[in-house]
Each structure stands twice: as structure tokens, then as C-alpha cells.
């Protein structure tokens, strides 16, 4: 399976939040829900007169990489509207090749609804064969003792 | 001028499947797509970003996308247009005319729906009665900034034929002081940073040079797209190697990328500019040829600048002397270098001198009218509408009644506006004559533009017998003071034209194309036409349709709207070094359009207005230096109005997605000060001074230093009580209005400039919270109609 991602040149991400709003419009996400969030680190002082201030857009668990659009060959909406033009969409392997070209880049490979992506729980019969510890009454006595059963082995088989 | 759009340059991130080359209207997947170059409303400056408006079979706008065919924006959009649908179909939008008995001003439930015919009948009757009694000058038009309504001078000149067209901000402290300074000194309306907007090859065009340095002076172009400049062009340039100098009291995203960030005390810019001039002149790093051939008064300027040595400026501004020297050297030696000058220049009493000194910097470094420096228009550029209809509609006699024309001729004659502060005074006193009728066009002065807003409200209530609102939404201003409400069409519902940056520089222009039907709403152009035909038909005889009017007013009859709309956006031809070719002067002579034909570093125009012909520094009227005793009580310098991506001034508070980005009005306070005063991040505070107070939410951040507070502007809360019941006013607008702390009548000698960004204040924590509940905003405005 080919993985797709978003390469972000955060050297120039200005924090305009067009990506956030266009994602909400595209997916009808209500107030309180987002497909991408612009994280804000700063400003804090590195040394007098020099500040660290980076805006880093991070796709959320609701980013579906604009499947409806990208399946028609178009780029995602956040890529289209980004005012600083810092988001590139593509195959992860192609985007990864661009990483060495310059600093302050980050490559995201989002997972839409990761919980749902795992699918419903199904028990795997090959798992869970180790039994829990339990109480046993010793033969010919009234004494109880802790017994630990490992795997299918019975105590007496040890 | 070009008549055919050149193909836009494709952004590298745009997919190969795209809409480049599509016509102005096409269909896609059963939707009709209309391409448009949009301006207003909602409010924006004339940036004219390219939009694709997708409309379904029912005529409903279902999708908005950035148009990759736009030569400058190339498909990129800011959050406000991305959320355009939520504005157009907002459940609180007003889509039909309404009336209310003036007795019930301030009461929301007293509005009554009426027809357009009835509305026009009422206006005609009121206009005839009131102007019959008091003369046509009794009508005043309150204009705002940015939106088309703010520029619709024909409302005054031709519809109501009154001389009192009034931008209601004290000292017209927005754009025009800068423009006036530049016009008086150079004869050029506006020296924009050259960002290759008119060149077909854009940044790679052979005519263009990327500036080595851009100096941002009191401007934060990224969120504001100021005056129509596409702010992220600065990012485009930085990617191509441009370095930044930032002159700004606050830390902002761009300033943290600057080689020099000169963090001056708010309001002291002119001292800084004079010191930079002094460095550049003393070190002889100015453009000697340009100064010799094309400037006037250089020696006088040099002497004046010498009175502001770097050490003195360092003391006044708080900027270290070596930073001033190094930044001045960097700007002067870079070739080319451009300045982006901003609103902060206007928002001080000393604004005209600040503008004058910055123009002098551009001039003596030879950067005016040079590729990659300042791009300027020739004698034919500029909006055709300056003075449009003035002679016919108003004439010399009535013009002399314009409020303020005798006291402030350098203001009133230049911008053909009544002086803002004096207009307030007239409404308070009926001097020089009573103002009895009014109309708002693109203005929400109680929430946004005006200083001491309660004072404006009281003046309007006492003075105006009849007042009209023309807007998309009920505003606090309309709620408190109006008797008739007319519904305004949004940019998706109207046609019109757009000249980037008001046409003040040669960039690009385009067509706002109508994509959906407006219902009962009308555009500014339509209303001016409709009212004019009713009230003063003799002034409108040559126009049979609104299109005729557009073709004349906006296009100077050089284009037909019908043709323009198909091109959507056209770049304007740029040429450089025009002072060498005689195209800057009406008489065709070489040089600049000033009395001396040169850039007047020593200004003969300023002298005519009894102003010092040379730039000088004047302390803000309220400051640690000029009012030390008051400063003990109010020990912070207050600057206001930094722009956000979410809002255009007082607009967009009812758009949930945008409000969510900035739910509450904040005041920025330095962490050390917050610690000392016991203010926690996110705590509500009262900011106050001797003029008034406002409640805002603390944002504890190092963007401001320990001497400075910064407060947001333009706040009201459309989800709250609409009635003008208590001291908080309609929609709680006065609760958080930072203009409560800003005085009127502290303007410069020419009448321009006011201290919106250089006041003093104190701050104290509050126990109560006024936090916006976004679920209420979402419930109220989230379901589109
Ligand atoms: S790719 Fe699409 S879904 Fe993901 S963040 Fe961007 S706009 Fe949202
Ligand atoms: S749209 Fe682009 S520049 Fe703006 S915040 Fe998102 S990634 Fe950053
Ligand atoms: S700057 Fe923003 S609001 Fe203004 S036209 Fe462009 S996208 Fe629209």
C-alpha cells in the first residue's frame, strides 16, 4: 500500500490558520473539532533579542488527507489555501527525499480515526493461553494454597 | 494598460489536476463556478484575492475555493474568505429593509420589516424635510475603512449631495495621514513596496529585482493584508532571499525573523526615523545623484536630522544606539531596499512627521520608483473616484461648508472629508450648524473606528433626527443609533470592480463577479445609484444602469465591465524611473508632481498649512515624558489594534469558525508584570486610564515588554443582549472597547493623526470571568440558513 503524507516547511509557516479553517469547511467539522491544528511554540527568548517562535501545523486524528479530493488527483484543501505555501502533499517516499534539501521541515503521515482504523475487537484464539493464579485445596488436607498455572500445564505436572 | 490577463504562475504545491486557464464561468460536476476577484463585503481591504464560487442548481453557494488563476494570490486564501459561506448564510444576517421609530433607538424588538419602496419613500421624505429646513450640509455620512462603502464618496457627492462625508476616526488615523504626507512631499499618492504584482513574470520577471532588504515600519502585513497589499508576498520575497528589518514595539512572527528588530516605545517613531536619516546622511551612504537631481531641501533636512543624534533617539525610543546605526546602514546600503509602512504611522499625533521622515528615507536612498524598491503610479493612476461628482453635486459654495475646511484645509481638501473630530464637535454643539440626518456606509463606529465611543453615541443621538444603517448584520452602532436598516449584498451577490490598494499604486485590478442572487440586498454601487435617482436625479442623468455608473466611476470609461469580468483580474503595467520620463507630472515635465518638481524634503505644502516644513519629533500627548504625574497612575504605554487572521476589524464575530480562533478580546501583558500584579494567563482584567476603561482577557506573553500593554480592538459580542440597556451598550460593545481609553481632539496641526497606538493605561485583575461560551456561539450562528 502506498502511504501519502504532508511535508511541511515550517520555516515559513506563519500561523495564518487557513489550513485549520479550510479543513473544517471541507469536512463540516463543528466548533471544537479540527482536522489540523497549528501548534505554537513561542515566542521565548533564546538570548537577548533572539526569539524562538515556530508554528507547526499538525494533522489530527480527523485528517483524512482529503480523500474525496485527492482521489480525483487534486491536492488537499490545506495545501491549496495555505497562505505561505508550505504544505506539500504526495507519496511519503517522494516527500522523504525532499527532507535533506533544507532545515525546518517535518513530514507527517496522518492516520484518519486511528481507533476505528484498528477495527472492532476480535479475540485471537492463539492468544491468552496463560491462566491466571487461583486457589487450590490440597489433597487430603483442608489447607488452601496459591497455585499458578502457566499455559496449559497443571500444577501436578511441574 | 493590459486588456488580457496573462496566465498565472502555478504554485509548486498545486496538483497537475487544477483549474488553471478556466474561463470566468464554467461548470464542474453539475455546479456553476464563477471566478471573482473579491473585495467587500465582508470587510477586507481591496486585496482582490481570486475566488472560485461553486453554485448548485438551486442557486446556492455550496463551496468556496481560492482561484489559482490569480496572478498574485495564486489560489491562496485567508480564513475569512474560506469561511465566506458562513457569512452569506449566517442566521443573523439581515436580508430585508427594516424601520424603527427613533423613539425606540437601542431596542431590538422594535424593528419592523418593510419593503424597499417604503424605505426609499421614508428616506426621500426625511431628506426633503431636513435638508429643506437645514440645508443639504445637514446630512453626514459615516464611513469606515476597507470595505467598498468606506470609499463610496458618491453617496455624499451625488446621492445626498452633501459635503460632509466623514471617516469617523479621530485624526483620520488610518492610511490617509501617510498618503497625505507622501502626496504633499512627492506628488505620488502611495509608495508601495514593489512586489512585482503588475509584472507578468512576477518575481522572475526580467524587469524586477528582489529587494535585498524590506523594512517593516509599524506594519504587520501577514494577518492584515494592509490597504490591499497581499501580506504573504513578504514570505514569497523572504524565500527569494529578502532580509527583514522590523520597526515595531511588539514581537511578531516577522520580527522574530528580522536581522534587526527595533522595539521602540510606541509613538516615538519620528525620533527613530530622524536618527536613521542622520546616520545615513553623516555616513554619506545615501544616493547622492538622486538627492542632487531629484530632491529639494536636503541640506535643511540634514540639519534637522542632526538635531536627533542616535544617542538622543536611543534615549527617547528605548532602542539601543548600535541597533539604530546598524539598521540604518543595512537599509541604506541594500540595493534595492523597500519599506512597508503601516498604520502605526498614522496612529499618533505626530503621524504626518513620521510619514514625512519615512518618505525621506525612501527618497535619499534612491529607492522611490525603482524595481524592488517603492513602486509608484504615474499621473493617471489612482482611483478615478477622488472628487468624483464633487463639483457637480456640491459645488464651491457648499464645499466651503464642509465641517473643518477652514480649520484643517490640508485635511478636508485632500481627502474631501469633513474633519472627524470637528464633526463630533458639531454633533455635540450644533456648531457651525446642526447635523440632523446621517447614514453609515461600511462603518460600525461604536464598536470599532471611533475614540470615546459613548461620546459619539450620545452626540449622534442628540443631533441626528434620522439615521440610516446599510450593512449585512445588525451592528451595535445601528442598534443604538439608527431608524432605518438597509440590507447590504455580500461579495458573492454583487458585481463591481476592485483596484488593489485602492488603485493608489499600479498593481492589478479586477471584477467582483456575481455568483448568486442577492434577494433584497443591494451593493453600495446599487444603493448610491438608487438613492441618487430618487433624491438628486439631475446628477444621474447620464447613467441608465448601475453598469453605466460602474464603467464611469470605477473604470473611467476605459474599460467596459462586461469585458473586465471575463478577464477577472488584470495586471497593470509597471514602469520605473518615471521621473526621468516626464510621466509623473501633468505638464509632462521631468521630475515629480510638486511645485519644485522635486521630492520636497523641505515641504512647501506643509508650510502652506502652517506646519513645520521639516519633520520633527513630538512626544505623544500622554506619555511617561509629557505627563509624568499621570504616568505614575497609569504606568504602562498602551498600544491597540494589532490585526488578527480571524477578523476584519469589528466584523466576523458571528462566524463560529473564525470566532473560535479568537473567542475573547485580549490584552497582552509581559510575564514579569503579570507576576507582579497577580494576573494569571487568561484572567480577565480591567485596563483603564483617565479617559475610560475596558475589560479584556490577559494574554501573558513576551510579545510586549515590561512597559507596554497591547489591547485588541473592534470587539462586540453578537451572541449577547442586543439592546442599548446599560453602560455596556448593545451587544456589550462598550464592555471591552479599548477606544474607551482613547481621546478625540488630540490630532496633528494639519488635522491628521491621533494616539490610538500611543496612550497610557493601568491594568488590574478582575475576579469575574466573561469567557465566551463557544457552544452558545455555535448554537446561535452555526446553523446556516
Ligand atoms: S489534508 Fe485535508 S483533512 Fe488533512 S488537514 Fe489538510 S485539509 Fe484537513
Ligand atoms: S495555512 Fe500554511 S502558513 Fe497558515 S498556519 Fe497553516 S501551514 Fe501555516
Ligand atoms: S485577504 Fe482574506 S478576506 Fe480579504 S479578499 Fe483575500 S482572502 Fe478574502
Q: What is the pLDDT of residue B544?
A: 98
Minimal CA–CA distance to B151: which of B181, B131, B175, B116? Answer: B175
Domain with CATH 2.40.40.20 in chain B: 628-781
B275 pLDDT tier (thresholds 50, 70, 90)? very high
Contact B17 A73 (CB under 8 A): yes
Domain with CATH 3.40.228.10 in chain B: 191-375+582-608
Cα Rg of chain B (Å, integer):
25
B383 pLDDT tier (thresholds 50, 70, 90)? low
Nearest atom in ligand 2 to the alpha carbon of residue A81 is 1
d(CA B215, CA B288): 21
Q: In CATH, what number does B191-375+582-608 get?
A: 3.40.228.10
Does residue A100 belong to any structural domain of this protein?
yes
Whether the CB of A35 sits within 6 Å of ligand 2: no
CA of A86 to the centre of ligand 2 (A): 7
Domain with CATH 3.40.50.740 in chain B: 98-173+391-492+521-557
Does residue A139 belong to any structural domain of this protein?
no
Does residue A146 belong to any structural domain of this protein?
no
DSSP H/E element including B656: helix B656-659
Option in B83, B223, B256 nearest A25 (CB) = B83
Of A3, A60, A65, the one to substitute when testing ligand 1's pocket (max ligand atoms within 8 A of C-beta) is A65
Cα Rg of chain A (Å, integer):
26
CATH number of the domain to which A70 belongs: 3.30.70.20
Q: Model confidence over B18-34: pLDDT tens digits? A: 999 999 999 999 999 99
Contact A22 B223 (CB under 8 A): no
Option in A25, A44, A84 nearest B232 (CB) = A84
Option in A20, A43, A72 nearest B703 (CB) = A43
DSSP sequence for B541-553: TT-SSHHHHHHHH
Average pLDDT over residues A46-74: 97
pLDDT > 90 fraction of chain B, expressed in percent and rounded = 95
Residues in a beta bridge with A55: A40
Q: What is the pLDDT of residue A139?
A: 72
Q: What is the pLDDT of residue A131?
A: 65
pTM: 0.95
Q: Which ligand minimizes its atom distance to the CA of A9?
A: 2
Which pairs from B562-566 meet CB under 8 Å and 24+ separation?
A: B563/B3, B564/B497, B564/B509, B564/B510, B564/B511, B565/B24, B565/B495, B565/B511, B565/B513, B566/B23, B566/B24
Minimal CA–CA distance to B471: which of B502, B503, B439, B498? Answer: B439
Beta-carbon contacts of B483 under 8 Å, excluding residues fewer than 6 positions away, are B99, B100, B101, B102, B105, B466, B467, B468
Residue A150 has pLDDT above 70, yes or no: no
Average pLDDT over residues A94-107: 98
d(CA B320, CA B263): 9
Residues in a beta bridge with A10: none
Given 3.40.50.740, 3.60.20.10, 3.40.190.10, 3.40.50.720, which CATH number is that of B98-173+391-492+521-557?
A: 3.40.50.740
Distance from CA of B226 to the nearest CA of A (A): 15
Cβ atoms of residues B436 and B134 within 8 Å: yes
Does residue A65 belong to any structural domain of this protein?
yes
DSSP H/E element including B759: strand B759-765
Contacts across the A-B interface (CB distance below 8 Å): 119
Residue A144 has pLDDT above 80, yes or no: no
Report the residue of chain A nearest B319, measured CA to CA.
A49
This complex has an ipTM of 0.97
Enumerate the residues of chain B whose CB falls inside 8 A of the CB of residue A72. Answer: 17
Residue A156 has pLDDT above 60, yes or no: no
d(CA B710, CA B420): 25
d(CA A119, CA B675): 49
Q: What is the pLDDT of residue A143?
A: 72
CA-CA-CA-CA torsion sign (B499, B501, B504, B508): negative
Residues in a beta bridge with B37: B50
Domain encompassing residue A57: 4-127
CA of A54 to the centre of ligand 1 (A): 20
Beta-carbon contacts of B391 under 8 Å, excluding residues fewer than 6 positions away, are none
A134 pLDDT tier (thresholds 50, 70, 90)? low
Q: What is the pLDDT of residue B651?
A: 98
Alpha helix ranges (H) inside A28-155: 67-70, 77-81, 92-98, 114-117
B280 pLDDT tier (thresholds 50, 70, 90)? very high
d(CA B319, CA B317): 5
Minimal CA–CA distance to B714: which of B741, B739, B686, B744? Answer: B739
A158 pLDDT tier (thresholds 50, 70, 90)? very low
Q: Which residue of B76, B84, B260, B776 to mutate against A (max A Cβ within 10 Å)?
A: B76
Does residue A48 belong to any structural domain of this protein?
yes
Contact A16 B223 (CB under 8 A): yes
Residue bearing the CA closest to ligand 2, atom 6:
A19
Beta-carbon contacts of B280 under 8 Å, excluding residues fewer than 6 positions away, are B286, B328, B329, B331, B332, B361, B364, B365
Minimal CA–CA distance to B376: which of B497, B507, B498, B288? Answer: B507
Minimal CA–CA distance to B193: which of B226, B147, B160, B224? Answer: B226
Minimal CA–CA distance to B696: which of B634, B747, B770? Answer: B770
Phi and psi at residue B501, in whole multiples of 5°? Answer: 55, 40
Average pLDDT over residues B336-360: 97
Whether the CB of B81 sits within 6 Å of ligand 3: yes
Contact B82 A21 (CB under 8 A): yes
d(CA B120, CA B149): 19
Beta strand ranges found along B542-645 (DSSP E): 569-571, 599-600, 636-640
Q: Mark residue B649 as left, alpha or beta (left: phi above 0; alpha: psi -120 to 50; beta: remaining).
A: left
Q: What is the pLDDT of residue B668?
A: 98
B55 pLDDT tier (thresholds 50, 70, 90)? very high
Query: Rounded to an integer, what is the distance from CA B691 to the centroid of its chain?
Result: 25
Residue bearing the CA closest to ligand 3, atom 5:
B49
Whether the CB of B78 sits within 6 Å of ligand 3: yes
Q: What is the pLDDT of residue B380?
A: 76
Residue B482 has pLDDT above 90, yes or no: yes
Nearest atom in ligand 2 to the alpha carbon of residue B232 is 3
B435 pLDDT tier (thresholds 50, 70, 90)? very high
Phi and psi at residue B535, in whole multiples of 5°? Answer: -90, -40
Whether the CB of A23 sits within 6 Å of ligand 2: no
Structurally, chain A folds into a number of domains equal to: 1
Q: Model confidence over B155-176: pLDDT tens digits? A: 999 999 999 999 999 999 999 9
Residue B628 has pLDDT above 60, yes or no: yes
Q: What is the pLDDT of residue B4?
A: 86
Higher pLDDT, residue B43 or B602? B602
Q: How much of chain A is helix, strand and coil, in % rounded to 5?
A: 25, 30, 50
CATH 1.10.443.10 fits B628-781, yes or no: no
Residue B343 has pLDDT above 80, yes or no: yes
**Burial of B749 from C-beta contacts in 10 A (0-12 / 13-18 / 19+):** middle
Residue B632, SS3?
helix
**Burial of B263 from C-beta contacts in 10 A (0-12 / 13-18 / 19+):** buried
Does residue A75 belong to any structural domain of this protein?
yes
Q: What is the pLDDT of residue A147?
A: 61
Q: What is the pLDDT of residue B189?
A: 87
Amino acid at each position: 500500500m502506498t502511504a501519502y503524507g504532508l511535508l511541511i516547511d515550517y520555516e515559513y509557516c506563519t500561523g495564518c490558520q487557513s489550513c485549520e479553517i479550510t479543513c473544517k469547511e471541507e469536512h463540516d467539522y463543528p466548533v471544537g473539532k479540527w482536522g489540523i491544528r497549528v501548534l505554537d511554540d513561542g515566542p521565548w527568548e533564546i538570548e537577548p533579542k533572539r526569539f524562538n517562535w515556530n508554528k507547526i501545523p499538525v494533522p489530527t486524528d480527523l485528517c483524512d488527507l482529503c480523500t474525496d479530493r485527492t482521489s480525483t488527483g487534486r491536492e488537499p484543501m490545506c495545501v491549496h489555501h495555505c497562505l505561505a505555501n508550505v504544505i506539500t502533499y504526495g507519496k511519503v517516499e517522494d516527500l522523504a527525499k525532499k527532507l535533506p534539501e533544507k532545515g525546518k521541515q517535518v513530514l507527517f503521515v496522518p492516520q484518519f480515526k486511528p481507533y476505528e482504523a484498528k477495527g472492532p475487537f476480535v479475540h485471537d484464539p492463539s492468544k491468552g493461553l496463560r491462566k491466571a493464579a487461583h486457589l487450590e485445596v490440597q489433597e487430603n488436607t483442608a489447607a488452601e494454597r496459591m497455585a499458578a498455572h502457566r499455559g496449559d500445564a497443571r500444577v501436578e505436572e511441574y | 494598460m493590459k486588456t488580457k490577463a496573462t496566465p498565472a504562475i502555478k504554485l509548486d504545491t498545486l496538483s497537475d489536476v487544477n483549474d488553471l486557464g478556466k474561463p470566468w464561468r464554467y461548470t464542474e460536476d453539475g455546479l456553476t463556478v464563477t471566478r471573482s476577484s473579491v473585495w467587500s463585503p465582508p470587510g477586507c481591504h481591496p486585496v482582490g484575492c481570486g475566488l472560485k464560487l461553486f453554485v448548485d442548481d438551486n442557486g446556492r453557494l455550496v463551496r468556496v475555493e481560492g482561484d489559482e488563476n490569480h496572478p498574485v494570490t495564486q489560489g491562496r486564501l485567508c480564513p475569512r474568505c474560506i469561511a465566506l459561506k458562513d457569512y452569506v448564510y449566517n442566521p443573523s444576517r439581515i436580508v430585508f429593509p427594516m424601520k424603527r421609530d427613533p423613539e425606540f433607538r437601542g431596542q431590538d424588538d422594535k424593528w419592523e420589516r418593510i419593503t424597499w419602496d417604503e424605505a426609499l419613500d421614508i428616506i426621500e421624505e426625511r431628506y426633503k424635510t431636513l435638508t429643506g429646513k437645514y440645508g443639504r450640509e445637514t446630512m453626514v455620512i459615516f464611513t469606515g475603512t476597507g470595505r467598498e462603502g468606506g470609499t463610496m464618496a458618491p453617496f455624499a457627492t451625488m446621492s445626498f449631495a452633501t459635503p460632509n462625508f466623514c471617516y469617523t476616526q479621530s485624526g483620520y488615523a488610518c492610511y490617509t495621514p501617510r498618503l497625505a504626507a507622501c502626496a504633499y512631499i512627492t506628488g505620488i499618492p502611495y509608495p508601495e513596496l514593489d512586489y512585482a504584482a503588475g509584472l507578468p513574470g512576477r518575481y522572475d520577471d526580467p524587469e524586477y529585482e528582489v529587494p535585498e532588504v524590506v523594512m517593516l515600519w509599524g506594519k504587520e502585513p501577514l494577518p492584515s493584508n494592509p490597504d490591499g497589499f497581499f501580506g504573504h508576498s513578504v514570505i514569497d520575497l523572504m524565500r527569494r532571499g529578502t532580509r527583514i528589518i522590523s520597526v515595531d514595539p511588539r514581537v511578531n512572527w516577522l520580527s522574530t525573523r528580522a536581522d534587526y528588530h527595533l522595539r521602540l516605545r510606541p509613538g516615538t517613531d519620528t525620533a527613530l526615523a530622524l536618527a536613521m536619516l542622520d546616520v545615513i546622511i553623516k555616513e554619506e551612504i545615501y544616493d547622492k545623484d538622486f538627492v542632487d537631481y531629484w530632491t529639494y531641501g536636503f541640506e535643511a533636512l540634514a540639519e534637522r536630522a542632526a538635531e536627533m543624534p542616535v544617542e538622543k533617539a536611543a534615549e527617547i525610543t528605548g532602542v539601543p544606539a548600535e541597533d539604530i546605526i546598524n539598521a540604518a546602514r543595512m537599509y541604506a546600503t541594500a540595493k534595492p531596499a523597500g519599506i512597508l509602512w503601516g498604520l502605526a504611522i498614522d496612529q499618533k499625533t505626530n503621524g504626518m512627521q513620521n510619514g514625512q521622515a519615512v518618505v525621506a528615507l525612501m527618497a535619499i536612498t534612491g529607492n522611490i520608483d525603482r524595481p524592488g524598491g517603492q513602486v509608484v503610479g504615474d499621473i493617471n493612476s489612482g482611483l478615478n473616484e477622488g472628487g468624483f461628482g464633487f463639483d457637480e453635486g456640491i459645488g464651491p459654495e457648499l464645499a466651503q461648508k464642509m465641517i473643518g475646511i477652514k480649520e484643517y484645509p490640508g485635511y478636508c481638501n485632500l481627502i474631501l472629508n469633513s474633519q472627524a473630530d470637528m464633526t463630533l464637535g458639531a454633533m455635540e454643539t450644533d456648531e457651525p450648524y446642526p447635523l440632523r440626518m446621517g447614514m453609515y456606509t461600511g462603518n460600525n463606529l461604536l464598536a470599532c473606528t471611533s475614540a470615546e465611543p459613548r461620546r459619539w453615541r450620545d452626540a449622534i443621538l442628540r443631533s441626528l433626527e434620522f439615521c440610516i444603517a446599510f450593512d449585512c448584520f445588525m451592528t451595535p452602532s445601528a442598534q443604538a443609533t439608527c431608524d432605518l436598516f438597509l440590507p447590504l449584498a455580500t461579495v458573492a451577490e454583487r458585481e463591481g470592480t476592485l483596484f488593489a490598494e485602492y488603485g493608489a499604486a499600479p498593481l492589478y485590478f479586477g471584477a467582483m463577479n456575481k455568483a448568486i442572487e442577492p434577494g433584497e440586498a443591494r451593493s453600495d454601487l446599487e444603493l448610491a445609484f438608487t438613492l441618487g435617482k430618487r433624491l438628486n436625479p439631475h446628477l444621474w442623468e447620464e447613467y441608465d444602469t448601475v453598469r453605466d455608473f460602474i464603467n464611469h466611476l470605477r473604470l473611467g470609461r476605459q474599460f467596459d465591465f462586461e469585458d473586465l469580468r471575463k478577464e477577472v483580474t488584470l495586471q497593470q503595467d509597471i514602469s520605473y524611473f518615471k521621473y526621468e520620463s516626464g510621466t509623473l507630472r501633468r505638464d509632462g515635465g521631468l521630475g515629480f508632481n510638486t511645485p519644485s518638481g522635486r521630492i520636497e524634503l523641505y515641504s512647501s505644502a506643509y508650510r502652506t498649512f502652517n506646519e513645520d516644513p521639516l519633520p520633527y519629533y513630538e512626544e505623544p500627548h500622554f506619555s511617561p515624558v509629557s505627563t509624568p504625574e499621570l504616568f505614575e497612575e497609569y504606568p504602562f504605554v498602551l498600544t491597540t489594534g494589532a490585526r488578527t487572521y480571524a477578523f476584519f476589524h469589528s466584523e466576523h464575530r458571528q462566524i463560529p469558525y473564525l470566532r473560535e480562533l479568537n473567542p475573547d478580546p485580549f490584552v497582552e501583558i509581559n510575564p514579569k508584570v503579570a507576576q507582579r500584579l497577580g494576573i494569571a494567563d487568561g484572567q480577565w482584567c480591567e485596563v483603564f486610564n483617565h479617559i475610560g476603561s475596558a475589560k479584556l482577557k490577559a494574554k501573558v506573553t513576551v510579545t510586549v515588554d515590561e512597559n507596554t500593554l497591547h489591547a485588541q480592538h473592534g470587539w462586540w459580542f453578537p451572541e449577547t443582549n442586543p439592546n442599548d440597556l446599560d453602560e455596556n451598550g448593545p451587544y456589550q460593545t462598550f464592555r471591552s472597547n479599548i477606544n474607551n481609553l482613547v481621546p478625540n481632539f488630540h490630532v496633528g496641526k494639519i488635522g491628521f493623526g491621533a494616539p490610538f497606538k500611543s496612550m497610557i493605561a493601568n491594568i488590574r485583575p478582575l475576579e469575574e470571568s466573561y469567557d465566551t461560551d463557544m457552544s452558545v456561539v455555535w448554537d446561535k450562528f452555526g446553523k446556516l440558513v
